[in-house]
Amino acid sequence: MKFQTLCSGSKGNCAILQSQHSKILIDVGLPLSTLEKGLLEFGIRPDKIDAVFVTHEHSDHVSGLEAFSKKYDKQVFVHKKGFLTLAKKSYYANHKITHFDGPFNFKDLHVDTFCCSHDSAYCCGYRFDDGNTAIATVTDLGVADSTLVDFVKGCKLVLLESNHDEQMLAKGDYPDILKRRVGGIKGHLSNTQASRLAVEMQKAGVKRLLLGHLSQNNNSPELAFYATLEQLNKNNIREGVDIIVDVVTQDKKSEVYIIE
């Protein structure tokens, strides 16, 4: 499978996944023109996309969904519990929204979802398995425990949220209510939380970890990377050998990962 993030962060999220028979998007939180350009550079004509998989209805994940749906009229998948909120929000995508409740198959992909504790109608992480290998995307998590590690077991690549540096958030100028929301159990994972998960995920067989959904105000790629690196080192896990860790960002596309 091929995978790339076009953008990842609190201002917009979109990833492309291509298997032998499927070309899909995970979230469309970016302008249509940027998406079209990104897809062409990836090697997919935008009208050849098979479906969009939406994690949740927050605008950093769906801001471009309506424009994309209006022009290309593609199937949009969303979890049953988030369906109504998304349907109300995205008029043009309405008739093509398919809701699901539990694992299902889409073309050559087996799709499974993870319920994220996050303050939206419903938020899910995705796991796509083509029968040969699997890729998971799990962002917008308030808490994460061993069930998340079980969910990504067998995945070669995982996009994991590493949203904020706890100290930057505490010392920053967000109002207290927002600080509590971001750091709370319905907010976002900190670098420290992500770093602990990185250790467990490596033990569960994950070979490549992409740290993403970084806060623009309370994090930096360096802080996110070093938090995880430090935790891996403490556990005698060698970055670059036992697991490769990359940081994916808001303003730059990731590299194109080919996972076999």
140 near Zn ion, judged by CB under 5 A: yes
Round to whole Å and give the CA distance between 213 and 45.
26
- In degrees, rounded to 5, the angle at the alpha carbon of residue 55 between the alpha carbons of residues 49 and 57 is 105
From 115, 111, 32, 121, select the one nearest 77 (Cα to Cα).
111
> Mask: binding to Zn ion, 28-67, rule CB under 5 A, as x and -?
------------------------------x-x-------
CB nearer to Zn ion: give 13 or 19. Answer: 13
**Least Cβ distance, residue 254 to Zn ion (angstroms):** 17
**Least Cβ distance, residue 69 to Zn ion (angstroms):** 19
200 near Zn ion, judged by CB under 5 A: no
CA distances from 260 to 3, 157, 172, 256 (A): 11, 10, 42, 13
CB nearer to Zn ion: give 1 or 214. Answer: 214
CB nearer to Zn ion: give 161 or 165. Answer: 161
Provide the Cα torsion 47, 24, 255, 12; round to 10°: 90
Encoded tokens for 244? 């490769």
**Least Cβ distance, residue 139 to Zn ion (angstroms):** 6
CB nearer to Zn ion: give 23 or 58. Answer: 58
CB nearer to Zn ion: give 78 or 204. Answer: 78
Round to whole Å and give the CA distance between 224 and 198.
12
Q: Are strands 244-247 and 97-100 parallel, antiparallel or unpaired?
A: unpaired
Q: Which residue is nearest to Zn ion (CB)?
A: 58
**Least Cβ distance, residue 138 to Zn ion (angstroms):** 12
**Least Cβ distance, residue 108 to Zn ion (angstroms):** 28
161 near Zn ion, judged by CB under 5 A: no
**Pair 188, 163: CB distance under 8 Å:** yes
Give residues in contact with Zn ion (CB under 5 A): 58, 60, 140
